[in-house]
């Protein structure tokens, strides 16, 4: 018989043993995790816990955090228990090449807008990914999209009209506008117009319709947590949490855009289906199911509008803060025989404009999330170091595009001339690296054609019509980074251009 005091000592003994065993098991696993990638340097805390990554993605400056890691610890550095980040463009191309044995990591689970449904960005099965790309490529390229260039032109003219009608300043009256918001109104209307001949109407209403932009900015950090902890996706898929996710019945936010998209997609299926030569029409004609078309349209609207808007905003900001660059661009516009509106083929023949676009993308790559790829099961050898199979290697965008060895000692400076003064061989190398802005190989962004068309036109048309000033030079824009950039309060004044 065990008396109470004896039982207490007995229980306490077992409790202490269990606690010590559990602690020992945790420490053993931590040691094993650290030991596995011990030959890669990085912040020590990052080798033990993903909390370092959590701090990065919630801090609003993850692009700079990752750049600093690569600068301090090398082109392949450790940022998590099973995570490396590279600032070596050769490694990025190696992982994404068509015949590469690397695969998308669990990071991509975090870019599912519906926990139970993949899209072209999130799908990890290579056969399924290749199948979706082949069915969607023609629609994105514009080959089956009637009047793609005209659609972009119409929306640029809508932006010019909005500025002229509502925000034109004079010597007597200042009418500041938030160009950060206006540029995203423009890209949202372009992407919806190109997708299904129905612009959302952001520029017509001059408003954040359905509070879409503000809702995305408020929830994006939480959504990004799934890229760090993929198991959260399964929790979000439980019925008790589904009410918190966007629904096509929502009157505002992401759900409202989802509802509009699903309604338009539904019209293209069924016995009385609507047939149009637009991006959605191309998807349908190439065999996408209704569910695949819904996911495909939604991801391209949400992802395509933010990223292109960032490229427009940041390149414009660099133009406005570099008077000599602006002057040279205006001279090129004036001295080149171009149409009104400018044709993309004409824009491609303007060397300084092309240098500005390239330099703008280099200085501020719009997508800087990890987008990790998974090392094949047998492992790999990179820079004479063995990388175990299953390790995740992420994209160190700022480290790649600000590297002094690749771009020169003035790599932190906006200088378009760097694209014009190099040898053909060096230019080819620089352009190959810049391509990583849009991904590479089998993971290259399908929306590149449309994004480049917008960039080739927007600056010429805006500068033909207006002179712009920055309202607050000491704080020209509010910019935070959560893998993509959220930018607003870019207050500009616009004056009618007088030649």
For residue 24, the SS3 value is helix
**Using CA atoms, how far apart are residues 230 and 176, in angstroms rounded to an integer?**
43
State whether the Cα torsion 88-92-454-480 is positive or negative. negative
445 is in an annotated binding site: yes
Q: How many CB atoms lie within 10 A of CB 55?
A: 14
Of 252, 179, 262, 159, give the one whose Cα is nearest residue 213: 252
The CA–CA distances, whole Å, from 16 to 6, 21, 207, 272 equal 15, 8, 62, 71
Residue 77's closest CA among 382, 472, 478? 382
Which bin fits 414, alpha (ψ -120 to 50), beta or left (φ > 0)? beta
Structure tokens at 392: 């995740």
- Helices vs strands, H then E, count in the chain: 21, 13
Integer Cα distance of 325 and 337 in angstroms: 20
Which residues make beta-bridge pairs with 491? 178
Cβ neighbors of 191 (< 8 A, separation 6 or more) are 300, 301, 304, 305, 308, 450
Q: 76-80 and 83-86 as β-strands: parallel, antiparallel, unpaired?
A: antiparallel
Helices (H), 229-373: 232-236, 239-242, 253-266, 279-285, 290-320, 323-335, 344-347, 351-363
The sign of the dihedral angle between the CA atoms of 239, 240, 243, 246 is negative
User: Cα–Cα distance between 32 and 193 in angstroms, integer?
Assistant: 53
Question: Does the CA dihedral 121-122-124-130 come out positive or negative?
Answer: negative
Beta strand 392-395 with 373-374: parallel, antiparallel or unpaired? antiparallel
φ, ψ for residue 310, nearest 5 deg: -60, -45
Query: Residue written as tokens 């372009």?
Result: 190
Q: Nearest to residue 180, comparing CAs of 479, 468, 498?
A: 479
Token pair 């999130």: residue: 122
d(CA 446, CA 120): 10
Which residues make up each annotated binding site for heme? 445
Which residues make up each annotated binding site? 445
């Amino acid at each position: 018989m065990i008396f109470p005091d004896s039982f207490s000592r007995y229980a306490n003994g077992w409790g202490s043993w269990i606690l010590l065993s559990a602690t020992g098991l945790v420490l053993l696993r931590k040691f094993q995790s650290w030991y596995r990638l011990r030959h890669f340097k990085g912040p020590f805390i990052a080798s033990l816990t993903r909390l370092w990554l959590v701090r990065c993605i919630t801090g609003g400056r993850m692009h700079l955090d990752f750049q600093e890691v690569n600068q301090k610890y090398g082109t392949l550095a450790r940022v998590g228990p099973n995570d490396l980040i590279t600032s070596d463009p050769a490694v990025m191309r190696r992982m994404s090449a068509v015949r590469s044995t690397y695969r998308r990591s669990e990071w991509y689970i975090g870019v599912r807008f519906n926990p139970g449904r993949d899209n072209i960005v999130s799908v990890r099965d290579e056969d399924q990914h290749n199948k979706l790309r082949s069915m969607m490529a023609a629609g994105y390229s514009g080959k089956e999209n009637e009047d793609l260039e005209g659609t972009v032109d119409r929306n640029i003219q809508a932006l010019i009209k909005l500025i002229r009608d509502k925000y034109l300043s004079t010597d007597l009256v200042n009418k500041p506008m938030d160009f950060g918001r206006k540029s995203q109104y423009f890209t949202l209307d372009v992407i919806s117009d190109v997708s299904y001949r129905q612009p959302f109407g952001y520029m017509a209403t001059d408003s954040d319709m359905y509070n879409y932009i503000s809702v995305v900015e408020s929830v994006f950090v939480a959504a990004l947590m799934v890229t760090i902890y993929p198991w959260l996706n399964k929790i979000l898929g439980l019925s008790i949490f589904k009410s918190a996710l966007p629904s096509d019945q929502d009157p505002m936010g992401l759900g409202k855009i989802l509802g509009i998209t699903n309604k338009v997609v539904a019209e293209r299926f069924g016995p009385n289906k609507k047939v149009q030569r637009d991006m959605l029409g191309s998807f349908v004609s190439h065999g996408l199911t209704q569910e695949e078309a819904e996911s495909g349209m939604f991801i391209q609207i949400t992802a395509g509008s933010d990223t292109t808007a960032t490229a427009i905003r940041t390149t414009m900001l660099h133009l406005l803060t570099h008077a000599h660059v602006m002057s040279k661009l205006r001279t090129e516009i004036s001295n080149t025989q171009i149409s009104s509106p400018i044709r993309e083929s004409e824009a491609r023949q303007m060397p300084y404009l092309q240098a500005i676009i390239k330099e703008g993308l280099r200085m501020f790559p719009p997508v800087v999330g990890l987008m990790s790829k998974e090392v094949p099961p047998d492992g790999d050898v990179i820079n004479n170091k063995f990388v175990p199979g299953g390790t995740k290697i992420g994209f160190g965008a700022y480290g790649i595009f600000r590297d002094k060895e690749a771009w020169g000692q003035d790599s932190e400076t906006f200088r378009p001339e760097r694209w014009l003064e190099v040898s053909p061989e060096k230019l080819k190398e620089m352009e190959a690296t810049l391509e990583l802005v849009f991904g590479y190989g089998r993971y290259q962004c399908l929306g590149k054609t449309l994004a480049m068309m917008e960039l080739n036109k927007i600056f010429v048309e805006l500068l033909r019509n207006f002179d712009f000033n920055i309202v607050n030079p000491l704080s020209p824009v509010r910019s935070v980074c959560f893998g993509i950039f959220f930018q607003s309060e870019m207050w500009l004044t616009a004056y009618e251009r007088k030649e």
